[in-house]
C-alpha cells in the first residue's frame, strides 16, 4: 500500500458520481463502520451514495446508523441501481461469494469495482484493490485513504464509525497487529469528540437476561483436553430454547475457553437445527484456520469457523478434538 494506490482510487472517486457501497454477509463493526464513514465522506464530495447489504444491520450496531443510511438488499429495488452506478466499493472482504445475495448483481454490473480490505488471499474480480494485511482493520486503511484525499473533511460523523470499526476489530486494542499507528489514528479520531465509553456500551453492553442465562449454561459445559491445552464449550438447541436466544447471541463466547491459563486452542460448538457450527480460536502461532479447513470451514490464523450439516453434536465434538491434537504445541 503506497501513495500510488491511494492516488488511483482517489482518481476514481473524483471522476465519478454514483457509488454503491457493500460488504460481507453478517456485517460486523468494521464493515458497517467503514461503509458509513466512506458514504459520509463521499456525500461531502456531493456524490450519490447507496449502502446496500445482504443482511439487516444487527441491533447493537443500529446506533451507528441513526438516519438509516444502510439498506437491506432487495433485487427489485436495487438491481437497476447497482447496474447503473459508476463505482461499487466492496469493503472488508475480497471474496465476492461473501456478498451472498449481492454477489450476482455486483459481478454483473459494469461499474468499476474497488476492494478495500485487510484479509489474505484476494479473489481476482475487482478493478482496484487497496489491501493491507498488516492493518488491524479495514477502517485503518480507509482512514488513510480519506486523509490522503482531504483531511479537512473528517468530522464526528466520519470519526465515530471509524473509531467503532477499529475498536471492535482489535477487540478493544488487544488483538495482534494493534500498534503505534493504531493508537495514533484513535487519538486523532477522538479529537472529533467520539466518546469511547459510549461506543463500548452501545456495542457490548446490550445483552438480554436470556443471553446471560445461555452463557451460564454454556460455561457449565466447559471441558479441558490434552493436559488443558484445548478447552471447549457447547450450546445445545435445548439451551437456546430454554433461554429464548439464538446462535447469533453466542458471539464472543469463545473468549471463555481462551481465558483459561495454558489453553492454546478454544472451541465453541453450537448445535443447530440442521447441524453444528464450530468456532475456533487459538493463541500465538497456532493456525486454527487450517483446522477449520479440515472440517470444511476457514478464517483467520487465530479465529476461524466451520458449519457442518446433518451431523450429530457428540460425534462432531469427538472428531474435532481428535483433529485438533496435531496443532497443539
| Helix 138-150 × helix 156-169 angle, to 10° | 150
DSSP three-state, residue 121: coil
Contacting residue, 129, 256, 269, 327, with a copy of itself by CB under 8 A: 256
DSSP three-state, residue 13: helix
Contacting residue, 4, 76, 121, 205, with a copy of itself by CB under 8 A: 205
C-alpha atoms less than 13 angstroms from C-alpha of 105 in its C-beta half-sphere:
24
Contacting residue, 84, 204, 238, 312, with a copy of itself by CB under 8 A: 204
Applying the rule CB under 8 A, the residues between 174 and 203 that interact with a copy of itself are 174-176, 178-181, 183-184, 186-188, 190-191, 196-197, 200-201
Interface with a copy of itself includes 74 (CB under 8 A)?
A: no
Interface with a copy of itself includes 259 (CB under 8 A)?
A: yes
Q: Tell me phi and psi for residue 28, to 5 degrees.
A: -115, -170
Window contacting a copy of itself (CB under 8 A); options: 9-17, 127-135, 223-231, 288-296: 223-231
Residue 94 or 264: which CB sits closer to a copy of itself?
Answer: 264
Applying the rule CB under 8 A, the residues between 228 and 247 that interact with a copy of itself are 228, 231
Interface with a copy of itself includes 212 (CB under 8 A)?
A: yes
How long a stretch of residues is the chain? 329
Residue 223, number of CB atoms within 10 A of its CB:
13
**Smallest distance from the beta carbon of 253 to a copy of itself, in angstroms?**
12
Signed CA dihedral, 3, 5, 8, 9: sign only: negative
Strand partners, 87: 19, 112
**Smallest distance from the beta carbon of 323 to a copy of itself, in angstroms?**
23
Owner of C-alpha cell 435445548: 238
**Smallest distance from the beta carbon of 212 to a copy of itself, in angstroms?**
5
DSSP characters for 165-198?
HHHHHTTTTTSTT--HHHHHHHHHHHTTT--HHH
**Smallest distance from the beta carbon of 193 to a copy of itself, in angstroms?**
10
Interface with a copy of itself includes 84 (CB under 8 A)?
A: no
Contacting residue, 66, 121, 209, 310, with a copy of itself by CB under 8 A: 209
**Smallest distance from the beta carbon of 203 to a copy of itself, in angstroms?**
10
DSSP characters for 45-82?
TT-EEEEEESSPPPGGGGGGGTT--EEE--HHHHHHHH
Please answer whether residues 21 and 145 qualify as being in contact, where contact means their C-beta atoms are separated by less than 8 angstroms: no
**Smallest distance from the beta carbon of 300 to a copy of itself, in angstroms?**
14
CA-to-CA dists, residue 226 to 16, 193, 258, 264, angstroms: 58, 48, 15, 10
Residue 9 or 235: which CB sits closer to a copy of itself?
Answer: 235
Residues that bind a copy of itself (rule: CB under 8 A) add up to a total of 45
What is the contact surface with a copy of itself in residues (CB under 8 A)? 167, 172-176, 178-181, 183-184, 186-188, 190-191, 196-197, 200-201, 204-209, 212-213, 215-217, 219-220, 222, 224, 228, 231, 256, 258-261, 263, 283
Amino acid at each position: 500500500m503506497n501513495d500510488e494506490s491511494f492516488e488511483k482510487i482517489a482518481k476514481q472517486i473524483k471522476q465519478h458520481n454514483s457509488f454503491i457501497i457493500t460488504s460481507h454477509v453478517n456485517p460486523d463493526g468494521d464493515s458497517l463502520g467503514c461503509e458509513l464513514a466512506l458514504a459520509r465522506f463521499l456525500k461531502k464530495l456531493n456524490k450519490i451514495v447507496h449502502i446496500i447489504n445482504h443482511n439487516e444491520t444487527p441491533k447493537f450496531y443500529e446506533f451507528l446508523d441513526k438516519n438509516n443510511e444502510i439498506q437491506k438488499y432487495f433485487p427489485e429495488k436495487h438491481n437497476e441501481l447497482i447496474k447503473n452506478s459508476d463505482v461499487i466499493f466492496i469493503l472488508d472482504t475480497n471474496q465476492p461469494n461473501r456478498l451472498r445475495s449481492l454477489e450476482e448483481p455486483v459481478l454483473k454490473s459494469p461499474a468499476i469495482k474497488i476492494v478495500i480490505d485487510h484479509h489474505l488471499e484476494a479473489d481476482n474480480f475487482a478493478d482496484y484493490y487497496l489491501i493491507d494485511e498488516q492493518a488491524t482493520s479495514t477502517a485503518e486503511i480507509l482512514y488513510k485513504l480519506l486523509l490522503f484525499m482531504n483531511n479537512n473533511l473528517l468530522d464526528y460523523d466520519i470519526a465515530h464509525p471509524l473509531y467503532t470499526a477499529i475498536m471492535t476489530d482489535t477487540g478493544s486494542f488487544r488483538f495482534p497487529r494493534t500498534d503505534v499507528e493504531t493508537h495514533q489514528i484513535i487519538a486523532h479520531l477522538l479529537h472529533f469528540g467520539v466518546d469511547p465509553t459510549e461506543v463500548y456500551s452501545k456495542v457490548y453492553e446490550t445483552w438480554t437476561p436470556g443471553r446471560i442465562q445461555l452463557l451460564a449454561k454454556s460455561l457449565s459445559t466447559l471441558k479441558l483436553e490434552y493436559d488443558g491445552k484445548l478447552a471447549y464449550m457447547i450450546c445445545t438447541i435445548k439451551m437456546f430454547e430454554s433461554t429464548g436466544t439464538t446462535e447469533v447471541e453466542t458471539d464472543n463466547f469463545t473468549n471463555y475457553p481462551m481465558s483459561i491459563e495454558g489453553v492454546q486452542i478454544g472451541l465453541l460448538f453450537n448445535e443447530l437445527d440442521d447441524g453444528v457450527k464450530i468456532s475456533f480460536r487459538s493463541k500465538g502461532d497456532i493456525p486454527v484456520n487450517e483446522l477449520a479447513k479440515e472440517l470444511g470451514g476457514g478464517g483467520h490464523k487465530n479465529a476461524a469457523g466451520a458449519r457442518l450439516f446433518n451431523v450429530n453434536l457428540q460425534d462432531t465434538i469427538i472428531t474435532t478434538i481428535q483433529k485438533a491434537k496435531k496443532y497443539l504445541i
